[in-house]
Amino acid sequence: AIWFLAFSDSVCVCVCVCVCVCVCSAGLNKTVRQHYLSLAQGAVCLVTYIWIDETGENLKCKTKTLNTEPAGLQDIPEWATAWSTDGRLVEVLLIPVRMFRDPFILDPNKLVLCEVLDSNRVPIGSNQRSQCDKIMEEVKEFQPWFGMEQEYTLFDLDGQLIGWLPRESQETQGFNRVVAGRLYGRNICISHCKACLYAGVKICGTNAEAIPGQWEFQVGPCEGTEIGDHLWVARYILHRVCEDFGVIASLDPKPSGVNSGTSGCHTNFSTKEMRGEGGLKHIEESIQRLSKRHSQHLRVYDPHGGQDNIHRLTGLSSTSHFHEFSTATACRDVSVRIPVHVSQKGCGYLEDRRPASNCDPYAVIRALAETCLLSTTE
Ligand code: ADP
Ligand code: MN
Ligand code: MN
Ligand code: MN
Ligand code: MN
């Protein structure tokens, strides 16, 4: 019995040590890290290159030391990385397209969003930015503005939705609430917002969402392609903030293990005419055009040709139906909505509520511009 007790004690110690190591490495001990961050780095500048990977959904990054601080994109060299295509690993080019301040290792260090080109300098599969940019160039006299509302859910490292209480109903509404026990992760929301502001990302608001552990931030308004750049970098910053807190942000439109609650990326859109006096007429005209190309839009409003949105757009929890287009003023279970303050003022913007939380903003705004501003017929 004594032997058994001693043995079980040591097993116990062993387990404790393991748990401890896991917890520490998840956060990579921020107190210790602070010492290294405060060390002088001389005249050099660390530039973190960020790009959308093969999935069109996830981001990757790597960091390069430059001898001096870049004043702009022209001072940041192209780089290269590995890319898997058709079961082969090829080399592709990373082309800097937008620079931000680095909110993690601070000034003078930078984050730079990159486009990915193949060795013939052609944008590769999942990189939809250049096609988007081409359309935005064609419609630039309309001065198209976009604002996107990114919803996300927080999971702990074991894959549990944060704040999920098995005994209780998941229907509990946390929307905009200020209450302990129903809201989880406010520190992430606040830290992410501050980091975006430091970086120069145009974050314009945040709120708690419907289920515990679900949050939203908004980016915009931005003109043309810029919204895609800012949203992707805001997503990068979100994942990095979550890494520091030891949690995972999921952009899954129908987070697994969650019965109710879905995540979207509502996209708000306006032109110079819609924003001016009598703009409502132009908003309604665009909605009319959108109603005729519903299925074409749903094909590009998630990264899987509509497969994700089928499970999200069910008509429940403030969503519309996948198979039919609907519109209304001051109503939230429709495909496209005219916000109440827009209808009262008679001008402003429309809100397309169909894009999924994991959408590619370049594909979404391109479809909006093609349908509403160009005479696309197919
Ligand atoms: P909701 O009431 O749908 O939750 P939010 O306040 O979350 O609205 O988001 C509003 C979004 O609309 C923001 O992303 C903002 O940038 C965007 N927005 C505001 N004005 C315009 C405009 N004129 N054109 C396009 N987008 C706009
Ligand atoms: Mn290597
Ligand atoms: Mn919102
Ligand atoms: Mn929302
Ligand atoms: Mn919205």
Ligand 1 atom with least separation from CA of 204: 16
Q: Report, as an integer, the average pLDDT of 294-314.
A: 96
What letter would DSSP give residue 160?
Answer: P
What letter would DSSP give residue 319?
Answer: -
In terms of Cβ atoms closer than 10 Å to its own Cβ (0-12, 13-18, 19+), residue 209 is buried
Residue 28 vs residues 33, 48, 159, 243: alpha-carbon distances, Å:
8, 19, 19, 9
pLDDT at site 19: 35
What letter would DSSP give residue 302?
Answer: S
Q: Report, as an integer, the average pLDDT of 112-140.
A: 95
Residues 268 and 349: beta-carbon distance below 8 Å: yes
Ligand 1 atom with least separation from CA of 148: 14
Between residues 61 and 34, the one the model is more confident about: 61
Ligand 1 atom with least separation from CA of 207: 7
CA of 176 to the centre of ligand 4 (A): 10
Q: Which residues sit with their C-beta closer than 6 Å to ligand 1?
A: 145-149, 204-205, 218-221, 266, 268-270, 275, 348-349, 351
Residues 179 and 308: beta-carbon distance below 8 Å: no
Q: Of 35-49, 171-185, 241-255, which range is least confident?
A: 171-185
Residues 230 and 244: beta-carbon distance below 8 Å: no
CA of 264 to the centre of ligand 1 (A): 14
pLDDT digits (tens, 9 = 90+) for 257-299: 677 789 999 999 999 999 999 999 999 999 999 999 999 999 9
CA of 216 to the centre of ligand 3 (A): 7
Average pLDDT, the chain: 88
Rounded-to-integer distance, Cα 7 and Cα 218, Å = 55
Question: How far does CA 109 lie from the centroid of its chain?
Answer: 22
Rounded-to-integer distance, Cα 158 and Cα 288, Å = 46
Dihedrals phi, psi of 361, to nearest 5 degrees: -55, -30
pLDDT at site 1: 34
Q: Which bound ligand lies closest to the C-alpha atom of 175?
A: 4
CA of 151 to the centre of ligand 4 (A): 6
pLDDT at site 54: 95
Half-sphere exposure of 332 (CA within 13 A, CB side): 5
Q: Report, as an integer, the average pLDDT of 324-336.
A: 92
pLDDT at site 2: 38
Q: Is 43 helix (H, G, I), strand (E, B) or coil?
A: coil
pLDDT at site 223: 98
Residue of minimum CA distance from atom 14 in ligand 1: 147
pLDDT digits (tens, 9 = 90+) for 65-89: 999 999 999 999 999 999 999 899 9
Q: Report, as an integer, the average pLDDT of 354-370.
A: 98
Q: Is the pLDDT of residue 347 over 90?
A: yes
CA of 274 to the centre of ligand 4 (A): 23
Between residues 370 and 320, the one the model is more confident about: 370
Q: Is the pLDDT of residue 128 over 90?
A: yes
Q: Report, as an integer, the average pLDDT of 11-34.
A: 50
- H-helix or E-strand containing 265? strand 265-270
Ligand 1 atom with least separation from CA of 339: 2
Please choose from 277, 334, 337, 349 the residue to mutate so as to test ligand 1's pocket, defined by most ligand atoms within 8 A of CB: 349
pLDDT at site 21: 37
CA of 181 to the centre of ligand 1 (A): 29
